[in-house]
Structure 1
């Protein structure tokens, strides 16, 4: 039978992974209108320690695999959507990641971005906004790995 000390430590140890979880990994996005899977996004660490994210696979069966970011106005202009970096410069700030930007590849617009984990790190709430966070919208992404 485990000691009282071991029994007390077990719940704390089980909770630790979610407290240190990060958005690094692969996430499935869901289309707001159809509720169907839209894309897989890989979030990764840059050499400067910030987080970036790119579309690694378009899941929409009706999407054109040759579709490009025609509306982008920066170095991503005319790049293929699959492989496109859509998140950059995200920095940890307590339990959230912010100070970065997210690109909407449909219209080429850049928005300020905040991300936070929910459900023990299985969900990522991504909020894009202009100006203040109240003037934006959120999506929930689902961890794939």
Structure 2
């Protein structure tokens, strides 16, 4: 019985430590200009690549919007449920060479993401066009 308790605590401790050092999980998106919380994005791994899906829109007034400006297979899909981060590869402490789509304007950008060096509960999300970029900081949801 004692061994089972110690083993269970060890598993729990390892899970908590691991989950805090990975981008996998749920993140509250924060608009970098208004500081408004907009949605919940779940980052997950599939076939050794990382993706991010909007699992919840926080503003009820726009919850049922579709991505009318998106291109290709994402055009006219509901924003809630849309995979906005695609095909990131892990490179040391960063996740790079993927894309992020802004469902408000339908534009897709080259993307990289990384955990903040001072706080593993902050995810830096950077979208690029050439030399120009914009970075948002998302907050982990526990």
TM-score range, shorter chain: 0.7 to 0.9
Find the aligned partners of 1:99 and 1:74 in 2 and give their Cα distance.
20
Bigger Rg over Cα: 1
Q: Does 1:44 align with 2:44?
A: yes
Unaligned runs of 5+ in 2: 1-16
TM-score (structure 1 length as normaliser):
0.80
TM-score by length of 2: 0.81
Which residue of the partner structure matches residue 137 of structure 2?
Answer: 140
SS at match of 1:122: strand
Gap regions ≥5 residues in structure 1:
1-16
Question: What is residue 6 of structure 2 aligned with on the other side?
Answer: none
* 1:21 Cα offset (Å): 1.7
Q: Offset at 1:131?
A: 2.2
The number of equivalent residue pairs is 125
Residues 124/114 of structure 1: CA separation in 2 closer, same or farther (3 Å cut): same
Matched, 1:55 2:45: no
Higher share in strand: 2
| CA deviation after TM superposition for structure 1 residue 115, in Å | 0.6
Q: Secondary structure at the match of 1:127?
A: strand
User: What is the distance in 1 between the residues matched to 2:31 and 2:21?
Assistant: 25
Is it true that 1:125 corresponds to 2:128 in the alignment? no
| Cα distance in 2 for residues equivalent to 1:112 and 1:31 | 18
Deviations 1:80-131 (A, max 9, x none): 0100000010111111000100000011110000111013421100000012
Question: In structure 1, what is the Cα distance between the partners aligned to 2:105 and 2:58?
Answer: 19
Does the 8 A contact of 2:32 with 2:135 survive in 1?
no
